[in-house]
Amino acid sequence: MKNVVVTGSQWGDEGKGKIVDWLSSEADIIVRFQGGHNAGHTLVIDDKVFKLHLLPSGIIRKNKISIIGNGVVIDPWALSNEIDELRSKGIEITENNLFISDTANLILPIHKEMDEIREDQAGKSKIGTTRRGIGPAYEDKVGRRGIRVGDLASESALNQKLEKILLHHNSIRKGLEKKIYNKDQIKKELLDIAPKILKYSMPIWKKLDEFKSKKILFEGAQGVLLDVDHGTYPFVTSSNTVSAAAAIGSGCGANRIDYVLGITKAYTTRVGEGPFPTELKDSIGAKIGDKGKEFGTTTSRKRRCGWLDGILVRQSVKISGINGIALTKLDVLDELEEIKMCVSYELKGKKIDYLPSSIEEQLNLKPIYKSFEGWKCSTKGIKKFNDLPDKAKIYIKDIEKFVETKISCISTSPERKDTILIEDPFNI
């Protein structure tokens, strides 16, 4: 196996960053292919914590190539700040280890502001976005009026494109009685930041073609249930988060994907609004949230917590083509008397075994659980499957059977080294 895609199988924050960092010891190249700085990936290496938003998690390791693909939306100011912050922690980032697609679309201040305006006006029906401008930037990309990284190299291209994008945005802003954006002001800001971004810019597809003999790790952001097509629409992000997006969002053929690793938390969390059938609004949910330190990496919002939803993970396995699962945060369940997994739903008196597409139906699902005895001892830091308590093994084996794919690794703490390897995705 040469190329591995890491994809979240729930609503994000499954621990993708930790697993990508751990696996990247084996990869030559790490590629982000969708999303933007709505992502927050946490890496813990000895006593150091790194929180990455736009940069691939491989950037922390020496002698690795990091790539931001065309499918990512880039806020150039956020990227520049992230690079500076990591450099201040001693991480080397140069034109030799970071490449950015010249066709990636930019997030502009108008996008962030539009995200905020919409969320503020939506009241109770808000999505609970990260307010980073992700949705509005993808809309402009698909609307064919986006500004791309490569455009930063030409003042005349910027001029023309800004006219087009501002015609659209200023018409809406007028209707909303918001301040009209001035082209020269944005152009100046973009030209000022341009040199900091352009030095990494290139046709990424060409680079990936050159790297045919190398091992690539594609780092997904968010999770399958936040996918714009396959998730809990409209309570989703604005990109495709499934593994197939790795090829589109980086410019290589679908046949370059050899293995899909789905990251799955041993329970479920969600940030923002939207359906969550197994949500626990009681003291158990609060206990899981406390022990798991479930606060958003990007927005610091408290994450909603609940039991593992086997139905949803199984659906993600099928939709994203997951070959194996990395089960994370098992240690968070260590103290519980009883652990549950949702194995079916009841809807209007009938049993169903998948997530219906209608949001009204999603909101009315009653989870049916299978119960497991808690193991009530510490699994923190365990590195061998056989060292796990028997009751934890039963839970893991049952998940494996239910979601119809194998568990290839298990994470037992935030630390890079605390991971049980069962099947190495790069060496099958």
Using rule CB under 6 A, residue 297 touches ligand GDP: yes
CB of 296 to ligand IMO, least distance (A): 7
Q: Which does 285 bind (CB under 5 to 8 A by kind): ligand GDP, Mg ion, ligand IMO, none?
A: none
Q: Which does 211 bind (CB under 5 to 8 A by kind): ligand GDP, Mg ion, ligand IMO, none?
A: none
Give Dmax over CA atoms of the chain in angstroms: 66
Pick between residue 31 and residue 194 the one whose CB is nearest to ligand GDP: 31
**Which of 13, 102, 140, 227 does the annotation list as catalytic?**
13
Binding residues for ligand GDP restricted to 11-40, rule: CB under 6 A: 12-18, 40
Q: Which residue number is nearest to ligand IMO in terms of Cβ?
A: 272
The residue ranges that bind ligand IMO (CB under 6 A) are 8, 11-13, 38-41, 127-130, 132, 134-135, 221-222, 226, 237-238, 271-272, 297
User: x/- string (CB under 5 A) for Mg ion, residues 240-279?
Assistant: ----------------------------------------
- Number of CB atoms found within 10 A of residue 175's CB: 8
Using rule CB under 6 A, residue 289 touches ligand GDP: no
Contacts with 113 (C-beta within 8 Å, 6 or more apart), sequence order: 133, 178
Task: State the pairing for strand pair 304-306/268-270.
Answer: antiparallel
Using rule CB under 5 A, residue 40 touches Mg ion: yes
Are the C-beta atoms of 219 and 56 separated by less than 8 Å? yes
Output 375-380 pairs: Cβ under 8 A, ≥24 positions apart.
375/334, 376/334, 376/335, 376/336, 376/337, 377/334, 378/331, 378/334, 379/330, 379/331, 379/334, 379/412, 380/331, 380/334, 380/412, 380/413, 380/418
Pick between residue 152 and residue 228 the one whose CB is nearest to ligand IMO: 228
Binding residues for ligand GDP restricted to 304-363, rule: CB under 6 A: 328-329, 331-332
What tokens appear for 148 in the block? 């791309």
CA 161 to the chain's CA centroid = 30
Pick between residue 294 and residue 331 the one whose CB is nearest to ligand IMO: 294
**Is 37 among the catalytic positions?**
no
CB of 374 to Mg ion, least distance (A): 26
How far apart CA 74 and CA 64 sit, in angstroms, is 21
CB of 252 to ligand GDP, least distance (A): 23
Going by C-alpha positions, the residue among 300, 364, 314, 321 that lies closest to residue 342 is: 314
Q: CA angle at residue 43 from 134 to 41, to 5 degrees?
A: 15
Strand partners, 201: 100
How far apart CA 336 and CA 101 sit, in angstroms, is 46
User: x/- string (CB under 6 A) for ligand GDP, residues 38-67?
Assistant: --xxx-x-----------------------
User: x/- string (CB under 6 A) for ligand GDP, residues 242-281?
Assistant: ----------------------------------------
Which of these ranges, 32-40, 74-82, 119-127, 329-337, lies near Mg ion under the rule CB under 5 A? 32-40
**Is 41 among the catalytic positions?**
yes
CA 175 to the chain's CA centroid = 34
Contacts with 224 (C-beta within 8 Å, 6 or more apart), sequence order: 7, 8, 9, 10, 230, 231, 241, 242, 262, 315, 316, 319, 320
**Which of 37, 41, 169, 230 does the annotation list as catalytic?**
41
Going by C-alpha positions, the residue among 219, 225, 217, 229 that lies closest to residue 9 is: 225
**What's phi and psi for 184, nearest 5 deg?**
-65, -35
What residues are labeled active site?
A: 13, 41
Binding footprint of ligand GDP on the chain (CB under 6 A):
8, 12-18, 40-42, 44, 293, 297, 328-329, 331-332, 411-414
Binding footprint of Mg ion on the chain (CB under 5 A):
13, 40, 297
